[in-house]
């Protein structure tokens, strides 16, 4: 019998199996070892599913092959791509038994010891179970291979898993056909060698806290010739009947007033999409599973989303911010990393975040917009992405405006009537359960979302930097509401791009007493409304700067 150290050191991630069936006693012993693994707060949230069906295995294999192609395209060069394609990375149809190890997020519906710092702890417990299963199988002469190159959304659909059950991956189980010379297969095939040295660092002192305040650009000195009266006169003297350009004239007056000039120019326009996950989503308030947040961020980075198309069309720079997505993105992606945590906690029975996290959201949003201003941008649009964030926005609107939750809840990503009523009932319960202080910061800490509060911080900074900023739909307007509660003066710099199809949006715009430029029945988010309204803003600036006046054109005013 191998010693524990020998089992740990030997290759455990197996890709080559014999045809021998796995006896029930073997898998039962291994799963029992998984059950004995550390479990945060004794939640016992780990779930196991056995796969013997050839039909199910084939469907999962096809999922793997689809993502395997995507992985091959992500390699660094052609040589690495060829080497990658020669690797055997799965044995889904070869192994006699498939095992899916999952964790159940619904345990977080109730207070769970050990999850207050990170709700990811239940996932870590499932990983501990997977390790125990691996060790038990190896000790019994069997082995396991972990397949994670999958579209997890489709994977869950194939298995028929409910939204709150999250798989770690697909595990191939059987008797190993080779021992890989007792070393990792990737090491045996010279993909990469495991380092002999451990990465250990002793920390002996507190990290220095950078208290340096972000620089605030001084408001441009007023042009000696500028006054609002002079600006209005310039608009009225264009070769047109007074007011005939409607909203364009109001936008021109607003932009000229903000920039304190009779000849305003938009420079380096930028849209920033803030993304984060929400603990309230685990209660089924969205039509989509939480992993769609991560998937859509990948889509943004690949250039395939609506916001990418519209920004490219209108020559607008685009940045994507990870404000708190429940996923670890590679460090070499083009994301702006402002992650507060891997999603908020559910606010059904407790606060979404800590007060320090709430404050950090405003700091991060401030830094991001201040950096854009330093780069010369004077116009920024705000967009968002996050499964469950319409639920968060609805509750914030309800408590901050003193509206009934029924008036603040809409269909979000497109829930049906039954799901909509369920959503209203859940959110009403969250408000009833709240017994904290009634001040703004207490509400934001308890009900807030990382991306919503970062946007609010960014809007406040855009005002301080004397920038025009564009507000997208319902969720971004709630972020504006938060910022407005902190400083009503920001209204002067805001342009509300559109009135969305989310029913609460009009009520919120009426509450703020602001008009929206467009009404296109949008409910996508992503900042798409900002991108679509931008040509209209450019037109407002263009007519102000380039259109002839009655005097210059020699046209009679009457």
Active site residues: 526
Give how far Cα 133 sits from Cα of 27, 93, 137, 148, 185, Å.
9, 20, 6, 17, 20
Q: Please enumerate in sequence order all residues whose Cβ is within 8 A of that of 293, keeping only pairs 6 or more positions apart, or say none.
A: 275, 276, 277, 325, 326, 327, 385, 386, 387
**DSSP helix/strand/coil, 240:** coil
Strand order in the sheet with 97-104: 46-51, 97-104, 165-174, 143-147
CA 428 to chain centre: 25
Go through 246-280 and write b for each residue having 16 or more CB atoms within 10 A of its CB, e for each that does not.
eebbbbbbbbbbbbbbbebebeebbbbbbbbbbbb
Going 109 to 113 to 117 to 123, the CA torsion angle's sign is negative
Tell me, letter by letter, the H, E, C secondary structure of 356-392.
Answer: HHHHHHHHHHHHHHHHHHHCCCCEEEEEEECCCHHHH
Tell me which residue has tokens 């190159």: 149
Q: Please enumerate in sequence order all residues whose Cβ is within 8 A of that of 269, keeping only pairs 6 or more positions apart, or say none.
A: 315, 316, 317, 377, 379, 380, 381, 534
Spatial separation of the C-alpha atoms in residues 412 and 401, rounded to whole Å:
20
Which among 82, 126, 77, 70 has a CA at the least distance from the CA of 103? 126
Strand partners, 495: 470
Q: Please enumerate in sequence order all residues whose Cβ is within 8 A of that of 307, keeping only pairs 6 or more positions apart, or say none.
A: 271, 273, 300, 318, 383, 526, 527, 528, 531
DSSP state of 286: S
HSE-up (13 A, CA, CB side) for residue 67 = 17
DSSP state of 42: G
Strand partners, 274: 321, 384
């Amino acid at each position: 019998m191998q010693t524990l150290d020998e089992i740990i050191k030997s290759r455990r991630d197996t890709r080559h199996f014999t045809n021998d069936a796995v006896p029930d006693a073997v898998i039962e012993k291994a799963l029992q070892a998984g059950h004995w693994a550390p479990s945060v707060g004794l939640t016992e949230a780990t779930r196991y599913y056995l796969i013997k069906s050839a039909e199910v295995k084939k469907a999962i294999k096809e999922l793997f092959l689809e993502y395997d192609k995507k992985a091959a395209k992500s390699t660094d060069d052609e040589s690495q791509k060829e080497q990658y394609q020669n690797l055997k990375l799965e044995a889904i149809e070869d192994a006699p038994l498939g095992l899916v190890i999952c964790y159940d997020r619904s345990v977080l519906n109730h207070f769970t010891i050990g999850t207050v710092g990170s709700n990811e702890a239940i996932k870590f417990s499932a990983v501990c179970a997977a390790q125990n299963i691996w060790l038990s199988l190896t000790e019994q002469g069997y082995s396991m291979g972990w397949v994670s190159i999958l579209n997890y959304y489709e994977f869950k659909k194939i298995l028929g898993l409910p939204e709150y059950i999250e798989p770690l991956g697909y595990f191939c189980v059987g008797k190993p056909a080779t021992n890989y010379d007792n070393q990792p297969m990737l090491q045996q095939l010279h993909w990469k060698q495991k380092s002999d040295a451990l990465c250990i660092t002793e920390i002996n002192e507190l990290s220095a806290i950078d208290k340096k305040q972000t620089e605030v650009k001084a408001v441009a000195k007023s042009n000696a010739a500028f006054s609002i009266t002079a600006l209005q006169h310039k608009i009225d003297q264009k070769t047109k009947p007074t007011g005939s350009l409607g909203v364009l004239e109001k936008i021109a007056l607003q932009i000229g007033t903000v920039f304190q000039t009779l000849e305003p120019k938009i420079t380096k326009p930028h849209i920033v999409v803030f993304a984060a996950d929400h603990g309230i989503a685990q209660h089924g308030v969205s039509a989509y599973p939480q992993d769609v947040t991560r998937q859509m961020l990948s889509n943004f980075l690949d250039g395939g989303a609506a916001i990418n198309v519209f920004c490219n069309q209108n020559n607008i720079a685009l940045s994507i911010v990870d404000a708190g997505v429940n996923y670890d993105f590679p460090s070499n992606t083009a994301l702006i990393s402002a992650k507060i945590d891997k999603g908020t906690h559910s606010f059904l029975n407790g606060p979404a975040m800590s007060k320090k996290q709430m404050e950090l959201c405003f700091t991060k949003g401030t830094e991001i917009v201040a950096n854009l201003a330093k780069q010369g941008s004077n116009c920024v649009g705000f967009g968002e992405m996050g499964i469950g964030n319409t639920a968060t926005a609805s509750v914030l609107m309800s408590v901050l405006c003193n509206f009934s939750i029924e008036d603040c809840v809409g269909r979000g990503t497109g829930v049906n009537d039954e799901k909509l009523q369920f959503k209203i009932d859940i959110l009403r319960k969250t408000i009833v359960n709240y017994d904290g202080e009634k001040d703004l910061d207490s509400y934001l800490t308890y009900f807030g979302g990382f991306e919503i509060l970062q946007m609010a911080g960014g809007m406040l900074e855009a005002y301080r930097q004397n920038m025009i900023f564009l507000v997208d739909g319902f969720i971004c307007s709630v972020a504006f509401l938060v910022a407005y509660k902190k400083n009503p003066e920001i209204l002067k710099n805001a342009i509300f791009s559109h009135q969305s199809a989310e029913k609460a949006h009009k009520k919120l715009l009426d509450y703020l007493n602001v008009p929206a430029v467009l009404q296109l029945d949008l409910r996508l988010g992503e900042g798409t409304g900002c991108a679509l309204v931008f040509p209209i803003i450019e037109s407002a600036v263009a007519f102000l700067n380039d259109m002839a006046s009655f005097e210059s054109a020699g046209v009679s005013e009457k």
